[in-house]
Structure 1
Amino acid sequence: MHYVQIKRMPGCEDIHLPVKMTELAAGFDLHAALQEPVVLNPGERTLIPAGFAMAMPGGLEAQIRPRSGLAYKHGITCLNTPGTIDADYRGEVKVLLVNLGQEPFVIERHERIAQMVFQSLPQVELQQVEELSDTVRGAGGFGHTGK
């Protein structure tokens, strides 16, 4: 079990802290902590505050991901997805949203705007070498195996 400390930002006492909407949900829903509604026009992007900061233990990462309903129904998704929050970040969590839909979308205070999924990180050490081992794939990439 990992414990993550959550701190509400000033003026956000009424904003829900991250919450799982079902018992087996992978992600915690994040809510908009806006002072006023924001209109997100097609093709525009904006940062939406989530009303909290957090402290995670080392070896943990929080990923910010789109909500499927907003993406499907309105074309609202996250840029830089999944967005990574590092264990040493202590600022307010914000969500970078973009409107890929055809209509303006109004984001209201308290609206569920994204989800946050926690991931454990392996310990990795990079080693510089002169040659890499061969594989069947080799250096093929970007569609080299066909459609």
Structure 2
Amino acid sequence: MDIPVKKLHPAARLPVYATAEAAGADLCACLEAPVSIAPGETVMIPTGLAVEIPAGYVGLVFGRSGLALKRDLAPANKVGVIDSDYRGELKTALYNHGSAVQTVEPGERIAQLVVVPYLTANFTETDQLSDTARGVGGFGSTGTR
């Protein structure tokens, strides 16, 4: 599938799959200088890119496991949603979960973009839902083991 990508900044780097079987393409920070993120702080990191996700698909922006594990940095909203009609710059709000200041360098891989098809549901109001074995149980009701 071809996805048009517009560079909004000359230093922007196109999304790249790190391996042949990777589901997510890496998104890189498009910065003029390093950006520091204090513990408990969220900073919006630009990519310098806009994309044209095809109709019937959605771009999902996930954190990178190494960034979260090694540096305590993860997207503040956990998963970003890029709708097919959005044409603005892709940005990632990185949150510092740790106790030390973290620095994001220009060109550093900050997130990954996964493009998947989706279905649009028709929501219909009702007074009754069908019964299931689970019922209304939630929030840990099925146990931990």
Name the TM-score, length of structure 2 as normaliser: 0.94
Match of residue 3 from structure 2: 4
Gaps of 5+ in 1: none
Question: In the alignment, which of 41, 54, 63 is matched to residue 38 of structure 2?
Answer: 41
Please state whether the residue corresponding to 2:121 is helix, strand or coil. coil
Match of residue 132 from structure 2: 135
The residue identity in structure 2 corresponding to 1:145 is T
Task: Give distance in 1, aligned partners of 2:122 and 2:42.
Answer: 36
Please state whether the residue corresponding to 2:16 is helix, strand or coil. coil
Task: Give distance in 1, aligned partners of 2:13 and 2:85.
Answer: 23
Gaps of 5+ in 2: none
Task: Give distance in 1, aligned partners of 2:11 and 2:35.
Answer: 18
Deviation at residue 52 of structure 1 after TM alignment: 0.5
Deviation at residue 128 of structure 1 after TM alignment: 1.9
After superposition, residues 8-87 of structure 1 pair within 5 angstroms as 8-9=7-8, 12-87=9-84
Deviation at residue 20 of structure 1 after TM alignment: 0.3
Please state whether the residue corresponding to 1:4 is helix, strand or coil. coil
Match of residue 113 from structure 1: 110
Instruction: Give the number of equivalent residue pairs.
Output: 144
Would the aligned equivalents of 1:3 and 1:56 in 2 still touch at CA under 8 Å?
A: no
Would the aligned equivalents of 1:45 and 1:96 in 2 still touch at CA under 8 Å?
A: yes
Please state whether the residue corresponding to 1:72 is helix, strand or coil. helix
Deviation at residue 55 of structure 1 after TM alignment: 1.0
Deviation at residue 14 of structure 1 after TM alignment: 2.9
Deviations, residues 112-139 of structure 1 (Å, cap 9, x unaligned): 1111111110232122222111001111
Please state whether the residue corresponding to 1:61 is helix, strand or coil. strand
Task: Give distance in 1, aligned partners of 2:130 and 2:60.
Answer: 32
Match of residue 91 from structure 1: 88
Q: Percent of aligned positions with the same letter in both sequences?
A: 42
Task: Give distance in 1, aligned partners of 2:29 and 2:14.
Answer: 10
Please state whether the residue corresponding to 1:16 is helix, strand or coil. coil
The residue identity in structure 1 corresponding to 2:43 is T
Deviation at residue 13 of structure 1 after TM alignment: 2.0
